[in-house]
Structures are given as C-alpha cells and as structure tokens.
Amino acid sequence: MPTRLFESRRSKRPRAFPGLLLLLTLALSACATMLPERGKVVMRDVNFPLRDFRLPSGLRVVVEEDRRSPVVALVALVGSGSSSDPAGKEGLAHVVEHLAFRARHGGSASVWTRLERMGAGRFNAATSLDHTLYQTLVPREALTEMLQLEAQRLAAPLAGVTEEVFAVEREVVRNELRQSNETGYFGQIFHWVQEASFPAGHPYARPVIGSHESLSRLSLADAQRFVRKHYQPENVTLVITGDVDLAAMDAMLKERLPEAWHGSGLPLAVSPRLAQPAPEPPLAPAAPKLVSHEAAVPSPELYLSWVLPRGFDEESALQAFMRSSLESELGRAMMTDGDIAGFSTGVVSGTRASLLIVRVVLITGAHPEKSAEAMLDQVFGVWDSTGGAGDALAQTFAYQRLHRSAVMGMALDAEDLLERALSRAELTHFTLDARSYGRTQAALASIGSSKMTEYAYHWLQRDRARMILVKPGANGVAALSSIAGLPPDEAEVEGPKGPLPAALSSPAQITSVRLANGMEVLLAPRPGMPLVSVGVALGGGEAIGKRGVAELAEWVSFPRSDFQGGPGDYGLRSSRVLYRDHLRYRLQGAAGNVGNILAILSERLSSMVTEYAVLRFYHENVLPWRKALDSYPEEKAQRALQRALYGAHPYGQVASSEEMGQVTQSDVEDWLAQVHRPANAVVVISGEFEPQQVMPLVHHYLGGWGGRGGAVESPSFPPLGAPSARPELLITPRPGATQGHLQLACRLPEVTPEAGARYALMAAVLRRHLWHEVREQMGATYGFHTQVSMARGGAAHLLLEGVVDAPQLGATMTAVRSALLTYARDGVPAAELESARSGLLAEQAVGLTTSGAWVNALLNARVLGWDVAAVTGRPALLQAVSEAELRKEFAGCAERLVVGVIGDEGQARAAAQAAFP
C-alpha cells in the first residue's frame, strides 16, 4: 500500500516533523480466527511529535517525544571521521573518540565515570569514515545532567587529558587493533577490505582505527589540533528521543549548553554536506590474484566487497534492501560449495561512496577462488530475471517476500530508541533535513523490483567485486614498550550522585494461562508501537539426550509443512537459538499479524523433522568445519573451562565434532519428539494487542497443538567443588601471541531470584573495578566483560574475561586476585557497591524498552522456574542486597576459582605463578 506521511506540529517555530513513519496500514479483522491473507502486513500508522532546533551557533538539535518508556536516548554526531585524519596519522579521529571519555571538566571525574554515576544504562561511541557517534541511553531523570555532560564533552573533548592519559589510551586502541573491535571485524580486516576496494591515496582506503605505525606517530598535540578544527557547533548534530517534554526543551537547551554552543541571534546557515550531483564512487583496480593476509581467525575467511554510491540520502534505502536481501539468500551457496560454512553481510556508508561487504567463513580455504565464484553466482542469482514466465512469477513472489522483510526489519529496528536516534542523527546531519528519516522509510516501502534489479545489475557486477582472503595466523601488531600507567584516581571511588532510575516501564498487566495441552502462555501487552514479539522456550537443550544430538538437531531440523505460510510472507523476523538447558524460537512482526505469527509458530513446533539428505549435507559440508574449530585455542579453552566448572555433569560437557558425527537420524528424531511437545513449552507474547482479542487466537492455534508427555525434567544441581586456596589453572597454548585471552570463573551456589541479584552485583563490581584499574590506568586491554550464566536446576557460574597485552598479563592477573581477596576479606566499599547497584538499575530500566526485550526477560525467568515477579521486582531485589551478603559470595568464589589463559604458554605460566603463588 502507498505510504502516508503525517506531520505533527506543536508550534510554528521551531518546526515539528513526523517522529516515526511506519509503513503499511490495514485494519485488524474483527473475527479473531480469520487471519490476514498471505502477503498482507497489517500495521497502523504511528507518529511521534518532533521538534527541530537550528541554533544560532550552527548546532542542530532534533528532539522526538516517545513516552512508551521512562527512558531517553541521546546521540551526538560529529561530522568528521577517519577520512579527516591527517596523512600519516591515521586513527586520530578514533583516538579522539576514546579520549573524549577520559575528559574532565571543572575538576570533575572523567566523562566515563560521570556516565556511570548518573545511571546511563547504555553508552558507547564509534568512528566511521565521515563521522563519529556518541550514543547514550539514560533514565528520564538523568536527561538534564546528561545534556550538560554531552555539551561539555563536545565543547572540550580533551579537557584534563594529560600526556600520560594519552599514552595509556593509545595503548588501549592498540589492543583494540589486535582483536574484534567497533568496526565489527577482527583486528585489521576492515582496513584490508578498504585497501582492496578504494584507490590508493583515497581517504576511504586508509584505516579507520589506524595502524601500529600511524598510532605510534600520534601525539596529544595532534589530537588537540584535530579537536579545534572539527569539534565545532556547526559540525555537530544532536538527537534526543524518548520521554521528554517538547515544550521544555527551549529552556533546557539554553540553560545546559555552553553559551558559545547555543549562540544568539539568527540561526547560522550551514553549507550543504552532500555534494550535488552525487559523485561517482571510486573503485580500486582489480588485483591480478586473490590477496591474502593473516589474522587470529579460527578458520579462513573470504571477504567480498562492492563499492556503491554514497549513503545518507534516500538512495540508501536501496542499499539497506540489498543487504537485507543478500543476508537471507546467500546461504544457498553452501549447497554448491562444501567449503563454505557461513556468511554475513554489512554496509558501511560514506558521503563519497558506500561499501557492501560479504564475509564468508570457510572450512579449510582449500579453493577460495571457487568459493568466491559460488558466492558471486548466488549474488547474481538474487536479482536474475532472465528466466521464462514461471521463473518470472517466482522471482516476483521472491522479491515481494524480500521487500516485506526489509520494510518490517526497519520498523522493528525503530522500536529501539537508540537505534532510531542513531539513524535519525546520521540522516539529519548529512541531508540537513530532519524529515529524511521518514523519507528514507517511505523510499524503502516504495522500491519496485525493476528499480532494485537495475541498481543491483549496475553496482554488483562481477568485475566490480574485490576480494581478500584472511588465513589463521599472527596479527602482526606489535606491542608498545611497557608504560608506567597512571596512579589510582581518588575521584573514581565516589558513589552515584543523581536519583536512582524510576520503576520499570512494565506491561500494563502480565497474564498467565495454562492451556489444555499443558502449554503455559504469558501475555504482556505494551501499547505504543504496532509490533508484536512472540517467543517460546522448550526445556532440554544441549543437556539432554545423546551428546551432540541437540547441536546437530539445531542444524538439520526443519518444519515438515508450511500451510500457514513462512516468515517472509508477512515480513517476520525469526530466530532459533540453542542453549545448554533449552531451545528458544522467536518471531516478530506487525501487531495486526499476531494471528499469523501464532499459526506459523504452532505449525513449526508441531512438525519439526529431519531427513537423511539434510544429515548427509551436514556430514559432508558442515562437520569438516566443526572439526577444524575443535582444534582452535578458543574452542579448546571453552571445553576445558566447562569441565573445570561442572565436571561430569551435562553442563560440563561440550559436544565435539567426533561426537556429533556419531549422531544418527533416529537420535535426532527422538530428541525432537522429546523436546517439541506442548507441556514442555512456555510462550510469551508481548507488544501492542488487546488480550481479549488475542486469547481466542492462542487457544485456536497454540491450544490445537497435540502431543503427549510432560515437561523435560530439569538436570540435577551440579555439586560445588571442594574449597581451595589456589585456583585451578588452565593454559591453552597460542605460541607467539602478543595478547593473552584471560578467563576467570567460579561456580556459584544454587541460584534463586534473590541469589541472582547478588551474583549480578558481583559481576558489576568486578567489571567496573577492573575496567578502571586495568584499562584506564594500565591501558592493558580494550575492555573486560563479566557475565553470570544461570541454567535450569539451579546451576550458575561467574565469568570474567578480556584480552590483555601480553607484557601486562601478570600485572592484570595480580589486580584480579587482589580485588577478589579484598572483597572476600573486607567486603565491597560502599561507594563501589552503590555505583554498581545504580548501574544495574539503569541497565534494567533502559534494557526493557522493546517487546522483544520483555519476551526474552520473561522467558529467562520461566526457564529457571521463577515467576514473573523475578523480572518486574528485580529492582527491589537489587536494592535489598547487602554488603555482608556480597562479601560471603566473594569469599566462596575466591575458594572455587578457575583461571584460564589462551596465549604464549611460557608467558602465561609465568604470569599465573607470579599472580597466584
């Protein structure tokens, strides 16, 4: 159907534009069991009020009001990225992005610490070809303080940054260069793709993150010159989206922005940022043969890239559609080339050109040229319309499915406040038009097959493809000589200063019903966005059945029938994920198609099967890749860690490729029959719907699923190991590694909702402490991550891991040991505890703002046997945790510690012996 564009106006000055344009509209049928016909996407229009401020300083501020949740997203875009780096000093824009989190304004703590204190639940930054993005998601109570902080960071991103801080952060970037980083690729791979795609000397051919040599040449003076030139109001766009009062924004901006960044008088006229007409995208000459590089990848990876026209205008909708289509169609290449194990796609946008990248994971890399040809054949096949009438009809239907999926994908992405703010910031900044976000959506909705085919034929020709091969090996990035680091910062130990986040934006009412077939269904309506997410958890997972059968079933099982249609018929986003203790399905789409979603889900759950031909394909094409992975250090380390934590218990066993190769078709069918039965299922439906309208659909479709047998029994609780003063040490060799992948884990007592809150606080305290000590003071790592893994039967463990510069591995392990022993002996200092508690409350507040997030949270609780209050009441559980309880948990963790290191064996063993004598 044609897209309709609405404008919402609060006042004539500043102007107000449509907040979000959702794309397809129909009325939901009044009869509950009469579903929209196949191919009909049923969604009402949605419109959020929006104000556009063009300030006298040249700063652009766009504010969108969306009061579905008590949360605000704030995105600041600086219109300079890696293409603005001076020659020979590549990576400078990215280093400045890092340093902006270290800035101190007026004697305050660092920006990073202030973000933690104010309750920022999510914050990050990224540098791209032509811009740098700072993104933050905060509870609404923190908006005023956050706006002031962002203004200070933009106006003085290097305030208080010393030469010592610069040296430490540069080493952090060097560690980022050696591992997966914010480009989404491992180490230097994205730079190699840039070099292969763009002509030598072109700004886009230079590395976004820099190189070892260019980083070594950077100085604080370089960063200061870059900031003076590029961090100016006329080069910045600020987008604020969420629970805001539009009428109050004039006064807030004037009060919180520095005078120079607000300005006075008439708005400053900003020159166009996109050249007209659009320039011809540059393309590097084709290489005479496939170019090879080495990186620390588990198996060979092939990268195919195409240079496309620039992004950030309405034509970028074509690129989004192209990427989405290829993502769903390229898997067929695995049927023609047994060396292809998987793939992914991505688009990197720029003002001069954009880059489409297809990443292909190979099993052995025995014939990369042949694999590349297989992928190119499939790329061509997606848009091939040269067949007969029957082929043309099939092509039309295929295009319609792809189009529905792309359109619905944009709508689902828009449900996330931060994702929507990021897209609006990019499009507004470069087009100078706040309406461009809605126009891009409209352009995506109106793309016809002939236009898309013409675009693909022009830009995706074989001779325009550029290819590189990345083989397993060393990354070639040396380390700096060891630096002294920074002294502890006393300001960092202060607790949170602002108000704690408001209560969760919970669904109006969560209803639980038990169907006659034994299935449990939870309804969690959330009005505001015409979308619905449906998830189902089936007890079992990897822990039941013959070892390897669950992992194999995930690959080879499929629904026997599709009388109710498939996800592409309604533009649905679908997923299936296997966990240690359960299997999870999810479908998301338009609210008006909730009946279609339930019908498809019921048919899938009740008809999962496998066939010999599919099993044979797995054994011939996928199993060799799994065998190759078994020898990779990360895989070996993970197996050893699970065994150390859980011993002979099913949770301690990770299936090997050899074990998967011994699984038969009968084994898979038995596992599917055991797991896929209604009494073993919990279903959660969240989104915009009326329970009285959806309940008949639930009974008709989900209640109609027959099946015998009850729920799969939970595994027994794995016994805790005996206490020990010395940790169990696991070393997985990686000779010559310049980094050590550090893993520290401990088993935890049987998990309950109350214990889960304690464990989450333990993880948060450790992560924050080590982030400040090992990253911010030592510069030894790109970052640490902690998680608490919980499973059916009450099993749980805490895991802390990070990749550390090899020369500082011993100091890092010593820091971890010291923190654990201190917390176990003396407890967690009050300021650290309250800071971690505030952070978790903020993460919870900003994390449950979409229907999909509520589905996941409620399924997580029910899988563990907890009731709904474990989710809605989690803030109270976190508030109730005492310092004495945490001290006891840390003491137990210190006595059951497992330390794993993947790296050079000699260095790792020496570091461990020094840290844990």
My answer on whether omega of the bond before 285 falls inside 30° of 0, hence cis, is: no
Cβ-Cβ contacts under 8 Å for 195 (sequence gap 6 or more): 205, 284
Cβ-Cβ contacts under 8 Å for 281 (sequence gap 6 or more): 307, 308, 309, 310, 352, 353, 354
Residue that is written with structure tokens 């309950």 in the block: 752
| β-pair type (897-903, 728-733) | parallel
Q: Is 288 helix (H, G, I), strand (E, B) or coil?
A: coil
Distance CA 793, CA 751 (A): 9
Tokens found for residue 34: 């009469």
Mean pLDDT by 10 residues, the chain (917 residues): 26 32 35 73 86 96 93 97 96 97 92 89 94 95 94 97 94 81 68 95 94 93 98 98 95 95 90 91 91 85 96 87 87 84 92 95 91 91 62 71 88 92 96 91 87 90 94 63 48 49 65 95 92 96 94 94 92 95 96 96 95 91 85 91 95 94 95 95 96 95 86 91 90 87 95 96 94 87 90 96 90 92 94 91 89 96 95 93 96 95 90 88
Rounded to the nearest 5°, which phi and psi values hold at 802? -170, 160
496 in Cβ contact with 835 (< 8 Å)? yes
**CA–CA–CA angle 435, 440, 445 (5° rounding):** 130
Residue from 655, 660, 629, 627 nearest 643 by CA: 655
Distance CA 862, CA 684 (A): 10
Distance CA 803, CA 305 (A): 29
Residue from 616, 521, 530, 600 nearest 858 by CA: 521
Distance CA 10, CA 227 (A): 36
| β-pair type (897-903, 739-747) | antiparallel
Instruction: Report how far apart, in Å, the C-alpha atoms of 20 and of each of 320, 410, 464, 628 are.
Output: 18, 11, 36, 47
Distance CA 612, CA 258 (A): 69
My answer on whether omega of the bond before 36 falls inside 30° of 0, hence cis, is: no
106 in Cβ contact with 227 (< 8 Å)? no
Cβ-Cβ contacts under 8 Å for 765 (sequence gap 6 or more): 823, 828, 832, 833, 836, 886
Q: Is 365 left (phi over 0), alpha (psi -120 to 50) or beta?
A: left
743 in Cβ contact with 801 (< 8 Å)? yes
pLDDT at 5: 24
Distance CA 789, CA 783 (A): 19
DSSP string, 540-593: -GGGSSSTTHHHHHHHH-EES--TT--GGGTT-EEEEEE-SSEEEEEEEEEGGG
Cβ-Cβ contacts under 8 Å for 397 (sequence gap 6 or more): none
Residue from 340, 903, 916 nearest 636 by CA: 903
For the purposes of burial, counting CB atoms within 10 Å of the CB of 92, is it exposed (0-12), middle (13-18) or buried (19 or more)?
buried
Cβ-Cβ contacts under 8 Å for 156 (sequence gap 6 or more): 103, 105
Q: What is the DSSP letter of 884?
A: H
Distance CA 758, CA 874 (A): 11
Tokens found for residue 682: 């919990």
Cβ-Cβ contacts under 8 Å for 876 (sequence gap 6 or more): none
Residue from 136, 96, 62, 57 nearest 427 by CA: 62
Cβ-Cβ contacts under 8 Å for 435 (sequence gap 6 or more): 17, 18
DSSP string, 638-671: HHHHHHHHHTTSGGG----HHHHHT--HHHHHHH
What pTM value is reported for the model? 0.91
Tokens found for residue 297: 């990848």
509 in Cβ contact with 129 (< 8 Å)? no
Residue that is written with structure tokens 């797991």 in the block: 675
Q: Is 25 left (phi over 0), alpha (psi -120 to 50) or beta?
A: beta
Q: Is 769 helix (H, G, I), strand (E, B) or coil?
A: helix
Burial 197-212 (b: 16+ CB within 10 A, else e): bbeeebbbbbbbbbbb
Q: Is 800 helix (H, G, I), strand (E, B) or coil?
A: strand
Distance CA 92, CA 88 (A): 10
Tokens found for residue 20: 């979000």
Distance CA 773, CA 818 (A): 11
Q: Is 867 helix (H, G, I), strand (E, B) or coil?
A: coil
CA atoms within 13 A on the CB side of 581: 24
479 in Cβ contact with 806 (< 8 Å)? yes
CA atoms within 13 A on the CB side of 125: 27
